[in-house]
Structure 1
Amino acid sequence: MTKWIKQAAKLPGWQSSTSAEQNANPKKIPEVDAYLAKAKKWREEQVELREILFGCGLTEELKWSKPCYTFEGHNVAIIQGFKEFCAVLFPNGALLKDPKGFLEKPGENSHSARRMPFRSLAEITKKRAALKAFVKEAVKAEKAGKEVEARKEREPIPEELQRKMKSDPELKKAFEALTPGRQRGYILHISAAKQSTTRENRIGKWRPHILDGKGMHDR
């Protein structure tokens, strides 16, 4: 890993966390260095995306085993690596203006999130300005407290969750206090289980998180 980091430091615009500290820029964290060192695909592309996002003045963290860039505790952008491409995910990307169609939904059930895929360093270079503009707009939306409008049609609450909330008033109160987006995340996750027992287990697993007022992706 150390050998790769030394080699990666020679790439244009990249520094390891050690080099960053020497340049009075201690915010790059070693956990992201390790993530990049282990990346089997799109390593150089993800290194470049890291530089761009970090250069936008965001705080670097590692969440869900991915480099995540936040503003005042709010998730703004996440670097993702896939088999066919790498991407920058904007959790509230539906708020962003995208006249050139660079953003896409990460899944058919996606409502708030949008991602910007990349398949080469050249493509990142070409779209650098657009990416930085998206980040700037996303930060502006966080400052303004904007939220993606909830879906008009809500997914049905699985029977197991309905029964649990009926017998557990504390859970019911906490779940109903969640934002529509957080509620939907739990509903989709629980409903995706094919077996009733699995759905019940998922409810039990996430109960403490719900009581804390958190969504599935909140720390």
Structure 2
Amino acid sequence: MANPKAKNTQEYISFFPKWKSHFNTIYNVLQNTELEESIKWGAPCYTLKGKNLIGMVGFKNHCAVWFHKGALLKDNKNALINAQPGKTQLLRQLRYCESDMVGIELLEEYIIEAIAIEKNNT
């Protein structure tokens, strides 16, 4: 059964108790940015001047931070995944399994770069 659509990020997090720790860490990092928080497609989405930059999403076996223009990030650590090669052009994700810890420094690095790329393209 699909989860009902969340009205806000905290409600979305409550739908995924397995990923609560991961999502709370990601949420806290995103709260320290200039990005605007909203719900799009039933999940948290963070925007800059109306442009989608970052999303949080939970699945059965992993959770992820989506970078809508992730292919433009340098990704020097080779941490970003294209979930659908050949189909997805720009979207990349940082994927976390249950035993993974969210690397705050790496996450912040990618968020800062994503914001800079968007600012340079507007």
TM-score interval for Structure 1 and Structure 2 normalised by the shorter chain? 0.7 to 0.9
- Structure 1's consecutive aligned runs of 4 or more residues displaced over 4 angstroms after TM superposition are none
* Structure 1 residues 143 and 66: CA distance shift in structure 2, 3 A: same
User: Using the alignment, how far apart are the partners of 2:33 and 2:99 within structure 1?
Assistant: 19
- Tell whether the 8 Å contact from 2:63 to 2:95 is kept in structure 1 after alignment: yes
Equivalent residue, structure 1, for 2:62: 85
User: Using the alignment, how far apart are the partners of 2:48 and 2:115 within structure 1?
Assistant: 7
Letter in 2 for 1:132: E
User: Using the alignment, how far apart are the partners of 1:46 and 1:132 within structure 2?
Assistant: 14
Q: Using the TM superposition, give the Cα deviation of residue 41 of structure 1 relative to its aligned residue in structure 2, in angstroms.
A: 2.8
TM-score (structure 2 length as normaliser)? 0.85
Correspondence list, 1:38-53, <5 A:
38-53=15-30
User: Using the alignment, how far apart are the partners of 1:79 and 1:121 within structure 2?
Assistant: 18
Correspondence list, 1:55-66, <5 A:
55-66=32-43
Higher strand share: 2
Q: How well do the aligned residues superpose, as a CA RMSD in angstroms?
A: 1.7
Q: Percent identity?
A: 30
Determine which of 93, 110, 120 is the counterpart of 1:134.
Answer: 110
1:60-104: CA deviation from partner (whole Å, max 9, x where unpaired)? 111101111111111111001111111100010000001111101
Equivalent residue, structure 1, for 2:49: 72
User: Using the alignment, how far apart are the partners of 1:129 and 1:135 within structure 2?
Assistant: 10
User: Using the alignment, how far apart are the partners of 1:42 and 1:82 within structure 2?
Assistant: 9
User: Using the alignment, how far apart are the partners of 2:99 and 2:73 within structure 1?
Assistant: 23
- Tell whether the 8 Å contact from 1:45 to 1:121 is kept in structure 2 after alignment: no
Equivalent residue, structure 2, for 1:34: 11
Higher helix share: 1
TM-score (structure 1 length as normaliser)? 0.49
- Tell whether the 8 Å contact from 1:54 to 1:69 is kept in structure 2 after alignment: no
Which protein shows a greater Rg? 1
- Tell whether the 8 Å contact from 2:48 to 2:115 is kept in structure 1 after alignment: yes
- How many residue pairs were aligned? 115
Correspondence list, 1:109-128, <5 A:
109-120=87-98, 123-124=101-102, 127-128=103-104
User: Alignment partner of 1:138: what SS?
Assistant: helix
Structure 1 gaps of 5+ residues are 1-29, 147-219
